[in-house]
A and B are shown apart, each in its own frame.
Chain A
Amino acid sequence: MTTESTAPVIGTLVHPHAPIRSELFVSRTRAAMLFLLPMIVALIVVAGWPLYRTIYFSFTDASLNNLAGAHFVGFRNYLSWVTLKSGKTFYSGVLADPQWWNAVWNTVRFSVLSVLCETVLGMIVALVLNADFPGRGLVRAAILIPWAIPTIVSAKMWGWMLNDQFGIINDLFLRLHLIDHKIAWTATADTAMTAVLVVDIWKTTPFMALLILAGLQMIPKDIYEATEIDGVHPLKTFFFVTLPLVRPALMVAVIFRLLDALRIFDLIYVLTPNSAQTKTMSVAARENLIDFDKFAYGSAESTLLFVLIAIITIVYIWAGRVNLEGGDR
Chain B
Amino acid sequence: MTELHLKDIRKSFGAVEVIKGVTLDIRSGEFMVFVGPSGCGKSTLLRLIAGLEDITSGTLEFDHDVVNGLSPSRRGIAMVFQSYALYPHMTVYDNMAFGMQLAKSSKEQVRQRVEKAAEMLQITPYLDRLPKQLSGGQRQRVAIGRAIVRDPKVFLFDEPLSNLDAALRVATRLEIAKLHHSMNNVTMIYVTHDQVEAMTLADRICVLRDGKIEQVGTPLELYENPQSLFVAGFIGSPKMNFLNGKFAERYRASTIGIRSEHIEVKERDGVWSGPVVHSEMLGSDSYIYVDVGSEEPLIVRQNGTTSKQLGEVLQLAPVGDNVHRFDQDGRPLASHSA
Contact = CB atoms under 8 A, between A and B. Distances in A.
A139 B53 CA distance: 52
A9 B57 CA distance: 7
B12 A22 contact: no
Question: Interface size bucket, B side?
Answer: 20 to 34
Interface string A97-126: 000000000000000000000000000000
Nearest to B48: A22
Interface string B72-86: 101000000000000
Interface residues of A, number: 19
A300 to B, nearest CB: 47
Contact of B68 (A2, A22, A27): A22
Main secondary structure of the interface of B (DSSP, over half): mixed
B55 interface: yes
Interface stretch (B13-21, B27-35, B288-296): B13-21
Contacts of A15: 7-8, 58-59
B21 A20 contact: no
Given A15-B59, A23-B71, A24-B71, A9 B54 contact: no
Contacts of A24: 51-52, 54, 71-72
A23 B66 CA distance: 13
A299 to B, nearest CB: 46
A36 interface: no
A13 interface: yes
A4 interface: yes
Contacts of A20: 55, 59, 66, 68-69
B102 to A, nearest CB: 15
24 contacts: A1-B52, A1-B53, A2-B54, A3-B13, A3-B14, A3-B56, A8-B56, A8-B57, A9-B10, A9-B17, A9-B56, A12-B8, A12-B10, A12-B21, A15-B7, A15-B59, A19-B55, A19-B57, A20-B55, A20-B59, A23-B69, A23-B71, A25-B54, A27-B71
Contacts, number: 63
Contacts of A23: 69-71, 74
Interface of B: 7-8, 10, 12-14, 17, 21, 51-59, 66, 68-72, 74
Contacts of A8: 56-57
A12 to B, nearest CB: 7
B57 A13 contact: yes
Interface in A1-40: 1-5, 8-9, 12-15, 19-25, 27
A14 B56 contact: no
A163 B310 CA distance: 95
